[in-house]
Amino acid sequence: MKNIILIYNPKAGDTTFRFSLDRFIEIFSEKDYEVRVFRSRMPGDMATFLEQTDFHDTEAVMVAGGTGTINEVVGAMIRQKIDLPVGIVPAGTENEYARYLGFNGELEDNLKALFAMTEITVDVGRVGDSYFVDSLCVGTLSTISAVSSEMRNAFGKMANYMKGVVSINKLKSMKLQIETGDKRYTGVFTSFIIANEAIRKPGPLSTGKYTLIATRSTKLGREFRYLEKDYPEGQTILRKNVISAVDGIGEVEKGVLRLTGHDFKIRIMDDDTPIHAELDGEPGPKMPIDVEILPHALRVFYNPIGRDEQFTKKKLLPVIDVPRGTSKEKKETKKDPGKKKKAKQSK
């Protein structure tokens, strides 16, 4: 009999996945899979479990939890060279990574989509012996994301903002030297993020590149705004306060630095204060950091229909054709508001 391994974090999200555990087993049993379940009890035990597990006859590893849970499992699998597809059951607070893979419906729908086991490969970022599937943050986002799992479960995304209100006055500007390929820029920033932009846009899920956004802004979450916009490649430009660095070496004087590359080297130029990065919202290495993007490093299950809907749902809204007067009628009504009333009465 074929095996499926399910690793789940009982403290993730609203902690209700445990009530769907039997349904998960039922769905995969119908396809003649034996489900082996590991329930996490403390940080690090999921990695230990994977290191000690015999994967003979195992078809896939399923993970139920948030991005931090996924981070621990994926990191352990890459370090141990476990070449199996990963299925993500969105059971965390925000589930952004799972949502962009197309798992954005009700739990029952997500389980059925996983049951289809449609496979694709995605990129993974590496810093030393650590890995991240979604983002590496330093500064604003890393400061506000360091909240307890209990606080996240209780308040959701608001927990980050609440933490940010307390921490934002403690933020310090950093003079950074940022390199990718033959591009090198120096500037003073409050924070930066290196994120998997491919999953946030329609098209290929693996491009071998992540995007770096560095900004002086202290407005929460602003870094992610610049991941959602397309800036033209070709030369160094200034557009809407965003410097899209394609070629050239220089000083960033204002705005936001946006770089896309296969690797990044980031150094602090004027401060010896230890500054740590966060990987997928979890504590990470200390600066300076060297980041390498590993293309097609992870096999995952995704829901192509749900992923398409993620980017087309705005277009699917019904268009209601409301009859309107001509521009001439509008001008006349504006001059004489009583005219519209008289016209109705005459009808």
Question: pLDDT of 31-53, one tens digit each?
Answer: 889 999 999 999 899 999 999 99
Does the pLDDT at position 83 exceed 50? yes
202 and 114 share one domain: no
CB atoms near residue 118 (< 10 Å): 15
Residue 7, beta-bridge partner list? 38, 63
Q: What is the DSSP letter of 169?
A: G
86 and 229 share one domain: no
- Domain assignment present for residue 124? The answer is no
23 and 172 share one domain: no
pLDDT, tens digit (0-9, with 9 covering 90-100), for 177-187: 999 988 899 98
211 contacts 259 by C-beta, under 8 angstroms: yes
271 and 138 share one domain: yes
16 and 152 share one domain: no
Check residue 316 and give its pLDDT: 41
156 and 291 share one domain: yes
- Domain assignment present for residue 266? The answer is yes
273 and 308 share one domain: no
- Between 57-61, 157-161, 305-309, the lowest mean confidence (pLDDT) is in 157-161
107-115 vs 21-29: helix crossing angle, rounded to 10? 30
Residue 263, beta-bridge partner list? 292
pLDDT, tens digit (0-9, with 9 covering 90-100), for 319-340: 333 344 444 444 454 555 555 5
Does the pLDDT at position 30 exceed 60? yes
Structural domain for 215, as ranges? 131-295
135 and 281 share one domain: yes
Element (H, E) at 325: none
- Domain assignment present for residue 188? The answer is yes
9 and 99 share one domain: yes
192 contacts 223 by C-beta, under 8 angstroms: yes
- Domain assignment present for residue 331? The answer is no
70 contacts 63 by C-beta, under 8 angstroms: yes
- Domain assignment present for residue 344? The answer is no
The residues near 37 (Cβ < 8 Å, ≥ 6 apart) are: 6, 8, 21, 25
Q: How far apart are CA 261 and CA 210, in angstroms?
A: 6
In angstroms, what CA-CA distances link 270 with 4, 8, 174, 274? 50, 43, 7, 12
- Domain assignment present for residue 99? The answer is yes
Check residue 148 and give its pLDDT: 45
148 and 54 share one domain: no
When pLDDT is averaged across residues 182-198 and rounded to a whole number, the result is: 90
- What is the total count of domains within the chain? 2
18 contacts 57 by C-beta, under 8 angstroms: no
The residues near 23 (Cβ < 8 Å, ≥ 6 apart) are: 108, 111
* CA atoms lying within 13 Å on the CB side of residue 119: 11
CATH number at residue 82: 3.40.50.10330
- Domain assignment present for residue 181? The answer is yes
Check residue 1 and give its pLDDT: 67
207 and 72 share one domain: no
The residues near 36 (Cβ < 8 Å, ≥ 6 apart) are: 3, 4, 5, 6
Does the pLDDT at position 157 exceed 90? no
- Domain assignment present for residue 78? The answer is yes
153-158: long-range contacts, CB 8 A cutoff, minimum separation 24: 153/11, 153/12, 153/13, 153/14, 153/15, 153/93, 156/93, 156/94, 157/93, 157/94
Q: Which amino acid is it at 250?
A: G
- Looking at per-residue pLDDT, the higher value among 81 and 166 belongs to 81
CATH number at residue 195: 2.60.200.40
CB atoms near residue 136 (< 10 Å): 27
148 and 105 share one domain: no
The rounded mean pLDDT for the chain is 80
**pTM of structure:** 0.78
DSSP for 230-283 reads ----SS-EEETTEEE-SS-EEEE-SSEEEEEESEEEEEESS--S--EEEETTEE
Q: How far apart are CA 258 and CA 215, in angstroms?
A: 9
Check residue 89 and give its pLDDT: 92
